[in-house]
Structure 1
C-alpha cells in the first residue's frame, strides 16, 4: 500500500483537524443566520404602528450580535459535548444503541463460535486485544461495524444476516475490513462526526419546537386579538428549523465524503491482510444480490451509518451516500468482475481458514535465544505495525489450534482468564513460587485460585512464544470484571510480580500490556492530544528508553553503547547521549513511555525503529526481548503483529 500505519494515523488526525475547521465554519454561518433571523424578527416586532415599516436599525445592535453568538455556542457546543460525553464509554455504547447483544466468549452456538474464532484470529495476527463482539439479532441485512475511541475500547458488531449468510472466507473479509478501521484510526473520527452533527441538529430541533408552540399560540390569539407577535415567533421558529436542518444536511455531506474515502482504504487494507480479494468482494456481491442488502433497521442507524461495512440506510445516493456504490467497490477488488451479484442465500457450510505448516507457526519459538533471520524479523517488525499479512493470520490460526482446549476455554470467561494470568506469573523457582501461591490462597477468589492450580501444569508446558498472544485473548473476558474484581485482580498481579523482589522482562511486558489496556477501557480514556511533533523535544526520554534497551540486551557496557549508537544513527539525533546504567531500568522505561505516548505518529515510528535496531544489534534476540518490544509498541498505541522468523 502507498501508506503505512503511521502515515494513516497522521491522515486520520489531519482529517479530524479539517473536520473541526469545517465545523467551525458551519457554526459561524449558523451564528450569522441566527443573527439575521433575530434582527428581522425584532425589527418586525418593533415596526412603526402607523406605517407598518420594519425597524432595520436593530441590524447593528451589538447586544443582538452577542445573543446570537452566545446562544449558538451554548446550543451547538452543548449538544456536541453532550453527545460525545454520552459516547465516552466507547464502542459498547454504540453497540447497545444499535440493539447489539454481546456474545458470550464461550458460546457453543456454531455460527457465533465461528464469528468469535475469526475475530480472535484477526486480533492475534494484528497484535491487538481481542475486541468484544456484539450480534445485532434483529437485523437481517448483511452488515458490520467497528466502534470506539481507541484500539483498547473498540468493539465489533455484526448483523444476524452477515453471520447466517456469509461463508467463512467472506465473513473473514468483512471482519478484516472492520479491523482496518480500528488500525487506521477511523473510529475516533467517526464518533466525533456523530457529536458534531448532533450539535448542529439541536438548532433545528429547537426551531421545530418553537414553530409548533408558536403555531398553536398564533391560532388561539388570532381568534381573540390582533397581536402579531406569535406570527413573528412562528417565522423565527421556521427560520431556526431551516438553519438547523440545512446545517445538518451539509454536515451529512461532509460525513459522507469522509466515509467514502475511508471505505476504499479499509477494503484495500483487508485484502492486504487476508490476501483474498474474493472474500471481501464475495461479501459485497452477496449484499448486492440479497433482498435486504446491507440495510440496518435500528432507529439509531442513521447517525451511525458511516460506521458500517455497507450502506446501512436506504434512499441515499450520490453525494449523500456514506459508502461508494457496490459495483465500484467490487471492481476495485476484482477488475474483471462480470457485473453479476451473488444470491444472498443462507450459507450451507463454511470454508475453513488455511492453516500454516508447523514451521510457519513456530515463529520465534524455537529457542530462548534466536539469531540471524529472527533478528531481521525484529528490525522489520515496525513495518508490519497496523499492516499484518497472511503469514500473521496463518500464525494466529495455527496458534489457536495448538493451544489445549482447557486453556482456550478458560481464556474466554472472567474466572478462567484471571487464573490464566496468575498461572503465567507463577515462578518456577521454589521459594518465590511458595510466596506467590500463599498470597493467592489468601487474597484471590477461592474459585479463581483453584482454577489457577488446575491450569498451572498446562501453562508450564506451553512454549514461551504463546504467552503474549494468550494475554491478548484473555483481555476480552477480563474487561467484563466488576470494579471490585478488577481492583483485586490488579493488586494480585502486582503482588505476584514483586514476590521475588525483582521484575523480569516478561513480567514487565505482561503487566504493561494488560493493565494499560484495562485501565484505558475501564476509565474510558479518549485519544490524547499530540504534544510532540519533533523527536528532539523528547530527547531525554528517548535516551533513557534506548539506553535501558541497550543494557537489557547486551552483557557489557561497551556492547550496550555500540547498540545505542547503531539505533541513534537511524533517527538522525546525533546529540543523543548514552546514559549510565544507574539511570536506567524498567521504571525509567515506564516514565519515558508515559511522555512518548503524546508524540506524533511519525515520531513514534522513529522511536520504535530505534528500539528494534537496539534489540537486534548483536543479531541475537531472546523471546523476552521480542515481548518487550511488543509491549513498548502497544504502550505507544501501535499494535505490533507477532514477530515471525523470516
Structure 2
C-alpha cells in the first residue's frame, strides 16, 4: 500500500468513524429518553400508565437537548482545535521548544526532527515537550503534514539513546505521512462531544450534593436534592455509553496503524533497534510502574489514541486497548521474542556518529552543538543539513511508485527491512550560517528576504534594498550577510532552506507574519516581473504562514477529471519550464497521453508567454482539495513532462506542488 493509499484509507476510516459514532449517539438518545421517562414517573410518584403522563414534547425535548450537548460540544472542541497540531500539543500539556534551543537533550531532538523532515521533503514540524510526563511516549498531530507538530515526553528525552529517539521520531513521521493525524484530531472533537453529557451529569451530581433536602414544589415527589442526584447519576452513566463506543472504535483503528508506524520507523532509520529499543524500554519501565508509557494529564482520555504507547494502564490490553501489546509489537519488529531493557535515565550524553543510519552528511546528525549559547554565533554554528535531492525522500520509488512503508499484514515480521540499501551520503550541505539563522525567528525572517534578493540585476537589487531599509531597517545588514551565503546554494536548495526555517518562522506573531508576507511580496514585485522561482516561494510562504495555515482542508474533488483545465495548466508549466518552445508542446502531449481519460489535447496546451501565475495559484488552491488517491497522478504527469531530469526551476515548481498536495517530494536522481 503506498503513501496516498494510506491517506485515502485514513479518509475512509474517518467517514466510517463518524458513522459508528452516529450509531453511538442514537443509542445515547434512546437511553436518555428511556431513563428520563422512568425518572419522571418516579418523581411524580405515579404508576406506569402510558404516554399521557408525560408533558407535551417530552421526548422531543430530551432528544434535542442531548443532540445539542453532543453536537455543540463537538463543534466547540473542533473550533478550539482549528489551529491543528499546536492546539492538540497544548491540550496535552506540551511546551513549545524554540528551534534555536541549546539545551542538550532538546538540541538532540530538534536535530533528529530536522533530519527526518529534510529527508522527507516536508516542512520541519514544530516540536513540543511534555515536561511533566516522566514516561516514554510521543505523538504527532495536525491536519496536514506541512503543518504538523511532534510532541515527546520528558521521559523520552531522558531515557532513550539517540538511535532510540530517532526510531520514535520515525514512528511519528509515519503518522504524519500516512494521513493518520487528521482523523485523530477529528476523533478528539467527537469524543469531547460525547463526554459533554457525562460532564453535565457530573455537574448535576455536584449541585445535588450542595443543596438541601427540600421536596419538589407539589410536595408529592422525592426531595429536590435526590432528584438532582438521580438525574445527574443517570446522565453520568449514560454519557459513558458514548465513551464505551468511543474507546471501542478508536482502539480498533489505532492498533493496526501502530503496526504500520513501527514498520515505517525501521524503514526510515534502517535500524530496528531504534524503535525496537524504545519499545523494549517502555516494557522495562512498565515492570516498575505498570505502564511505561503512562500519561498523567487530565486530557488523556481524549488523546489516548494518538500516542506512541498506551497512555493509561487500563488501556494496555483487551478490547479497549488503543495499542497492541508491547510483546506483539516487538515480535513483529524482530521476528522473535526479545527481553525488555532497563529504562533508567541516561546521565551521560554520547555524540551520535556522523552520517549514521540515514546517511546524512557529516555533522548533520551530530549533537555537538547542543550545549552552546542560544545566541546566533556564525563562527560556532553546526555543520549543514543535507539537500533533499541527495537523500531519498521517505517512501518514494524512482519510477513514481511510493514504496510501502512497512507491511500491514499482521503475520509478517519486518526485520528484513533493516537490510535495505542505505541512503547515499549527502554531497551538498547547507552553509552553517544559514542553518543557524533558520533556527532563530528573527534571523529566519531575514533569511526569507535573503532568498528573494536578486544581485544579478543591479537596478532590481537596489530597489529591493530600498524596500528593506524602509520596512525592515533593523534586519537589512543581516539580510545582506545571509544573501552572500544563499548565493553559494543552487536554487534547487532554496526550498530545503525554507522547510528548515518553518518552525522558527511560526514563532512570529500574526502581525509579524503578515509583515513578512507583505515585504516578501514587495521584494518580488520590485522589478515589476514575477519569476517562476519567486512565485513558487511566495505560494509556499502563504500556504504555511497565512492566517488559515494549519486549518483542515476537506476533499472537494474526487479525481483529475474535475480539474482537467488545472491539470493541463500545471503540466504545461512544467513542460515550458524544462524545454524550449518548439519542444515544450511535445513534452506536454507525451505526458497527457499517458492518461487518455483526461482527454487533454494540443489545443489545451498553454504556451509560456500565455501562462498566468494567478491562474496557477488558483489551480494549486483547488489541488489542495483533491482526493488522496488522485494526487499522485498530478505529480506523475509533471515528472513525465519534465523529462529524465529537472532544472532547478523545475525542482522548485515540483516542490511547490507537493506542498500544495501535502505530499513528500519525489526522489530526483539528477538535476540539470
TM-score calculated relative to the size of structure 1 = 0.89
Quick one: distance in 1 between partners of 2:194 and 2:638? 46
1:429 corresponds to: 457
Q: Given that residues 6 and 605 in structure 1 are in contact (C-alpha distance below 8 angstroms), is that contact kept between their aligned partners in structure 2?
A: yes
SS at match of 1:324: coil
Counterpart of 1:19 in structure 2 is 17
Residue pair 1:363, 1:645 contacting (<8 A) in 2 also: no
Against the structure 1 CA distance between its residues 456 and 214, is the aligned structure 2 distance closer, same or farther, given a 3 Å change threshold? closer
SS at match of 1:13: helix
Evaluate the alpha carbon distance shift between residue 536 and residue 37 of structure 1 in structure 2; reply closer, same or farther with a 3 A threshold.
Answer: same
Offset, 1:429: 2.1
Partner residue of 1:276 out of 249, 267, 271: 271
Post-superposition shift, 1:301?
A: 2.6
Q: What CA distance in whole angstroms lies between the structure 2 residues aligned with 1:413 and 1:609?
A: 36
User: Is 1:546 equivalent to 2:571 in the alignment?
Assistant: yes
Query: Which region of structure 1 is more displaced relative to structure 2, 355-364 or 563-572?
Result: 355-364
Change in CA separation of 1:394 and 1:10 when aligned onto 2, cut-off 3 Å: same
Tell whether the 8 Å contact from 2:99 to 2:440 is kept in structure 1 after alignment.
yes
Summarize the Cα distance change of 1:361–1:343 in structure 2 as closer, same or farther, 3 Å threshold.
closer
Tell me if structure 1 keeps the 8 A contact 2:97–2:127: yes
Structure 1 position 551, deviation (Å):
2.2
Q: Choose between structure 1 and 2: higher helix proportion.
A: 1
- Is 1:160 matched up with 2:154? yes
2:412 corresponds to: none
CA drift of 1:234 comes to 4.3
Q: How does 1:197-216 map to 2 (within 5 A)?
A: 197-214=191-208
Q: 1:324 to 1:347 in 2, by over 3 A?
A: farther
Shift of 1:235: 3.5
SS of residue paired to 2:593: helix
2:125 corresponds to which residue?
131
The structure-2 alpha-carbon separation of the partners of 1:613 and 1:17, relative to structure 1 and needing over 3 Å to count, comes to same
C-alpha distance in structure 1 between counterparts of 2:421 and 2:96, whole Å: 27
Residue ranges of structure 1 left out of the alignment (5+ in a row): 366-372
Aligned match of 2:655: 630
Q: 1:96 to 1:528 in 2, by over 3 A?
A: closer
Q: 1:465 to 1:191 in 2, by over 3 A?
A: same
Deviation at residue 481 of structure 1 after TM alignment: 1.1
Does structure 2 conserve the Cα–Cα contact (< 8 Å) formed by 1:43 and 1:56? no
Mapped to 2, the partners of 1:286 and 1:350 lie a distance apart of 20
Answer yes or no: is the 8 Å Cα contact 1:146–1:307 preserved in 2. yes
8 Å CA contact 1:505, 1:625 repeated in 2:
no
In 1, the alpha carbon distance for the partners of 2:545 and 2:178 equals 21
User: Residues of 2 paired with 1:141 and 1:114: CA distance?
Assistant: 18
**For residue 325 of structure 1, what is the aligned residue in structure 2?**
325
Match of 1:486 among 513, 524, 540: 513
Give the direction of change, closer, same or farther, for the CA distance of 1:30–1:378 in structure 2 (3 Å limit): closer
Question: Does structure 1 residue 589 correspond to structure 2 residue 616?
Answer: yes
Does residue 563 (structure 1) correspond to residue 562 (structure 2)? The answer is: no
Does residue 254 of structure 2 align to residue 259 of structure 1? yes
Is there any run of 5+ residues in structure 2 with no aligned partner, and where? 363-384, 407-416
State the distance in 2 between where 1:17 and 1:438 align.
Answer: 53
RMSD: 3.1
How many residues are paired up? 621
Give the Å deviation of 1:501.
2.4
Following the alignment from structure 1 to structure 2, what is the Cα–Cα distance between the partners of residues 498 and 351? 45
Aligned to 1:301: 300
CA distance in 1, matches of 2:425, 2:493: 10
How far 1:120 sits from its partner (Å)?
0.4
Q: Is the 8 A contact 2:204 2:228 kept in 1?
A: yes
Cα deviation 1:354-412 (Å, max 9, x = unaligned): 354989968868xxxxxxx9xxx99635636999x99999579775xx33322211111
Matched, 1:609 2:636: yes
Partner of 2:170: 176
Residue 368 of structure 1: aligned partner = none
Mapped partners of 1:601, 1:576: distance in 2: 22
- 1:107 and 1:363 mapped to 2: Cα distance? 24
Kindly state the Cα deviation for residue 261 of structure 1 after the two structures are TM-superposed.
1.7
Distance 1:486 1:640 in 2: 25
* Alpha-carbon distance in 1 for matches of 2:645, 2:427: 25
Contact 1:122 1:396 in 2 (8 A): no
Match of 1:77 in 2: 71
**Aligned pair partner of 2:34 in 29, 36, 45:** 36
Q: How big is the shift at 1:8?
A: 0.5
**Separation of aligned partners in 2, 1:183 and 1:347:** 33
Residue deviations 1:398-437 (CA, integer Å, cap 9, x gap): 75xx333222111111121111111111112212111111
Q: TM-score, normalised by structure 2?
A: 0.85
Task: Tell me if 1:534 matches 2:528.
Answer: no
Q: CA deviation at 1:575?
A: 1.9
Deviation for aligned residue 1:162: 1.2
2:284 maps to which residue? 289
| Match for residue 7 of structure 1 among 1, 5, 8 | 5
CA distance in 1 between partners of 2:596 and 2:16 (Å): 31
